[in-house]
Structure 1
Amino acid sequence: MPKSKRLMELMMTVNQKRKFTVKELAQEFGVSQRTILRDLQELSELGVPLYSEVGPNGGYRVLKERLLPPIAFSEEEAVAIFFAIHALRHYSSLPFETESSSVLSKFYAYMPQDIRDRIDQMKNRVDFVTPTRQASSRYLSVLLDAAIQQKVLLIDYESREKPDSREIQPIGIYTRNGFWYCPAHCFQSDDIRLFRCDRIQAVAPSSSKPLDLRHIHLENRRLNRGKEPEDVTLFAELTKEGVQTCEAEPWSVAMLHIRPDGTGWLEGSISKSDILFFAKFFISLGKEVAVKYSPELLDCIKSYLSELTAKYDV
């Protein structure tokens, strides 16, 4: 086997094994232990994070941050990956902020000059703009790790009403309109709730036993939300413009129905705690919506409009 091919396969092998001995690798690759030692030295010089352990159970171990083997990309694939990462620069917070900057620098540095020239031209022609927010979400990586590892966290949360401490088990994180959100099982309400990440002021591990939420993820979390006794029914007719506005709202996916002529309606259940949010949203739609139900929502809309009228009534 050529040395270059052996080094490539050796890199992939040590990434998979994580812990190994020189003798094991020599037998697997059919070379001497001295050859494997030289190969490991070369891999280490290339940046593969290896360290040796002494003793009867010693050997080699790969550190947590493994170095992945080279991957061949076409020119179009390379440009697509570059701009996918480049678009993240608009976010004030990322769960992998340092890594994104490092990847982009490496990717650009090792591209052929003609592809770099093409990217430089495209930078002024294509972009994925998201609103710039001053709010910082400091715990994105912690929340994401908790979602993956099924961990319970104790958070200090600054809600609309007042600061509060809650135990949550994150399901994931996502971004929309420049803000980061974390849907999570809230142990206080015993249901799935949505938390804005920039309002999380502190995070600490919790000693509570985690639930098995492996089957719940960002795509199906609404289907797993239990119906509360205090949920109210929502029904609202929409014009074409109203439908287009609602299509941009993530909460409308399960409730929005569209007719062939482009008009539509919203139908479903909402929590009583969210009535004020929906009242403000429907007021912002103006004539593009006609709320038919529920009485609680209609009363909230009328009350809020009365307050607005009184505020500006001279």
Structure 2
Amino acid sequence: MNKSKRLVELMMVINSKRVFTAKELADEFGVSLRTIQRDLLDLQELGVPLYSEVGAGGGYKIIKERILPPIAFTENEAIAMFFANQSLQYYNDLPFETDAKSALNKFHHYLTSDVKKRIEEMEQRFVFYTQQRQQSSPCLQLLLDASINQQVVQITYDSIKGKSTRTIQPVGVFSQNGHWYCPAYCFKREDTRLFRADRIIDATIVEEHEGVNLSKFNIHNWSYMGKEPEKVSLKVKLSREGVKICKNDPFLEQSIVVEQDGIGRLYTQITKPDLEYYASFFISLGKHARVEGPEQLMIEMKKILGDLNDIYL
């Protein structure tokens, strides 16, 4: 086995072992102890975070995170990877922000000059715009780790109604319209709730709190862990402008029927807890949406309009 191939295989082996001796590796690769020690020095110079301990219990350990072996990319794959990473640039916070920036810098550093030039040209012609928000979401990494490890978290939540302390078990995190969200089981409500991550101003893992079994739930099917809320039929007549606005909503878009003249009708099922949200939403459309049902939604809209009337008239 030539040296370059041996170094790649050696990197994969020590990633899996984490703790090992030079003799163990020498026996496994069928080379001398001195050869394997030189190989380990070469890997350290390449950036593999190894350190050695002397003595009876000594050996080598890999510190920090595991290091991936070299991966060969075609030119188009390299460009695709660069722009996939760059698409995150408009988020103020990421659960892996430092690592993403580090990976992008490393990736760009080792590209050939002609590929770098092509990327620089493409940066002027191609971009992933994401609605940029000013709010910070400092607990993203903790929430993501807690969802993966099925841990309970105590949070301080700054909602519209004020600050409160909640004990939750996160299902995961997702981004929509520039905001980060964390669906989680809320122990106070004994059901799932959706939390805005930027409104979680503090979070701590609670080791002693017994969690619930969320193994059957993930970021795609978290909505109804407990009793499914009652649904009502939504019926809305939309102008041409109303159709365009509602098509920006991924949930409403699939339920719009557009007629030949461009006006549309919206037929779908919504849950009762969402009535307040949709009341405000359709009021914001003004004359471009006329709600025909359910009655509960129309009552909620009239209540909001009455409150506005008291303020301005």
Matches of 1:238 and 1:218, distance apart in 2: 32
Match of 2:210 in 1: 209
Contact 1:15-1:66 at 8 Å conserved across structures: yes
Match for residue 124 of structure 1? Answer: 124
Q: Cα offset for 1:202?
A: 0.9
Contact 2:192 2:224 in 1 (8 A): no
Q: 1:8 to 1:86 in 2, by over 3 A?
A: same
Farther-moved stretch of structure 1 (185-194 vs 97-106): 97-106
Q: Distance in 2 between matches of 1:241 and 1:115?
A: 43
Query: In the alignment, is the contact (CA less than 8 A) between 2:156 and 2:202 conserved in 1?
Result: yes
Q: Which amino acid aligns with 2:81?
A: I
AA partner of residue 276 (structure 1): E
Which residue is 2:164 aligned to? 164
Q: Is the 8 A contact 2:156 2:164 kept in 1?
A: yes
The Cα of 1:158 is off from its aligned counterpart by 0.6
Q: C-alpha root-mean-square deviation of aligned residues, in Å?
A: 2.3
For the residue of structure 1 that corresponds to 2:92, the secondary structure is coil
- Percent same amino acid among aligned pairs? 46
The offset of 1:252, in angstroms, is 4.6
Q: Secondary structure at the match of 2:228?
A: coil
Q: Which residue of structure 2 lines up, in the alignment, with residue 236 of structure 1?
A: 235
Give 3-state SS (helix, strand or coil) of 1:117's partner. Answer: helix
Aligned runs of 1:273-284 on 2, under 5 Å? 274-284=274-284
Q: Which piece of structure 1 moves more, 171-180 or 240-249?
A: 240-249
Distance 1:186 1:132 in 2: 29
Deviations 1:32-66 (A, max 9, x none): 22221111111111111112344544432222312
1:253-282 deviations in whole A, cap 9, x for unaligned? Answer: 8xx53448584534324243x432121012
What is the CA distance between 1:226 and its match in structure 2? 3.0
* Structure 2 equivalent of residue 268 of structure 1: 269
Q: Is the 8 A contact 1:237 1:291 kept in 2?
A: yes
What is the rounded CA distance, in whole Å, between the counterparts of 2:237 and 2:58 in structure 1? 69
Matched, 1:88 2:92: no
Structure 1 position 109 matched with structure 2 position 112: no
1:215 and 1:289 map into 2 onto residues whose CA distance is: 39
In structure 2, distance between residues paired with 1:91 and 1:151 = 26
Q: Tell me which amino acid in the other structure corresponds to 2:255.
A: H
Q: Normalization by structure 2: what TM-score? A: 0.89
Shift of 1:251: 5.1
Distance 1:184 1:55 in 2: 48
How far apart, in 2, do the equivalents of 1:222 and 1:244 lie?
A: 27
Unaligned runs of 5+ in 2: none
TM-score (norm 1): 0.89
AA in 1 matched with 2:43: L
**What amino acid does structure 2 have at the position aligned with 1:96?**
F
Contact between 1:15 and 1:62, CA under 8 Å: does it hold in 2?
Answer: yes
Cα distance in 1 for partners of 2:48, 2:105 equals 19
Matches within 5 A, 1:16-35: 16-35=16-35
Distance 2:214 2:243 in 1: 33
Displacement of 1:300 in angstroms is 0.9
Task: Verify the 8 A CA contact 1:238 1:266 in the aligned structure 2.
Answer: no
Q: Distance in 1 between matches of 2:101 and 2:202?
A: 26
- Residue 148 of structure 2 aligns with an amino acid whose one-letter code is I
Structure 1 portions without partners, runs of 5+: none
How far apart, in 2, do the equivalents of 1:166 and 1:250 lie? 29
Q: Decide whether the 8 Å contact of 2:191 with 2:225 is kept in 1.
A: no
How many residues align structurally?
A: 308
* 1:55/1:167 CA distance change after superposition, 3 Å: farther
| C-alpha distance 59-215 of structure 1, shift in aligned 2 (>3 A) | farther
Distance verdict in 2 for CA 1:260–1:276, change over 3 Å: closer
